[in-house]
Structure 1
């Protein structure tokens, strides 16, 4: 299936990555043959170079270089934090109108058969800014409560640490809806029961701005919400649950 192209020129291409698709093949998913890089290679008839990544379940703006020089220059922008990233997320509870999550993130032990724990001494600075766009109180029972509270938030991470947004919102007790790793299993199951069994991580990379490494033009690229997230927001606003 072809990917939605948001911008393309001689040096780079930007796509709206669908949820559930890897950015590139990894050793952790050796059985997976489908990925953004492979699809674009076939779609464009040329090799593409990944610069940054989105979690498999995350949708939204993803930029790829079309040559090694642009790949290196764009990578330098991401490392220098001169890019601006904005995400939309649906989280548990009613969040504050706005806030800053300043919480260093450490690597996590990922050995099979062992409980996940932080590896001491690996902490790195991680700061995320957020603002609340909408709050919802819906007639879906969860745990000991008769109604569920959710919020739609806009998030701007300063860095791009692994699972930064997901871990940060877990830290402030507002985990992302549909997050099977850091989320609330009670909320996730309640939404599967009353909305859709196919509930996924409700995180979308809405906007990315960066300086074109060749033309020096500042590009500001947005990706529309995927259908599942848009449909869920409509359901939350109209409260049309089973």
Structure 2
């Protein structure tokens, strides 16, 4: 039987790249995202190109009731989830702490932390029942180092780091692997969302160096997912060559 990968935030960036990577390697996909039209287009493209079988779950991970209901009521044929890629997440604003928006903070915490919890809590029982599985959480270098104007976003990604470590310990007895991937600067929709649609400001983030792209992270996630059963990469920080840490870049 083909293995099944559940990807949140599959409509863009790392999530979409993961969908394409796993589809190309003959996996079944459960695809989540808020933008139904994009999900449907991705489903069609993967079906046409690879013959991929996929199930769409269009919900906002921040909505606990909807997320829980959708996952708990999966068709029986889709209940064996081998991999969960918790990719849904975002940054909003680049404001100093005292000037930041509480609404932005709520959105980041509700998506990056609570959404990850809601989805994971609903998926884990399936993995427990089948005697194993692998959860891959998308963190950020911002979850390893705090930088100016990062405040609540950094806090939310520090939480992902802590939750990944806690899940790894608590789920050990169920033979469930947990991997946290922490990308540095990556040219996806990330900066466009962070700057609230300001394409000019978003584009300047990557001036002078070659950042990561979604496919880079998808390749790494696929690698961690296809290691032998007795091997688990627990924690991995990934940057482009031009980036040393959260604040230091070589541009030129």
From the CA coordinates, give the structure whose radius of gyration is larger. Answer: 1
**Higher-helix-fraction structure:** 2
- Name the one with the larger strand percent: 1
TM norm structure 1: 0.32
**TM-score (normalised: structure 2):** 0.31
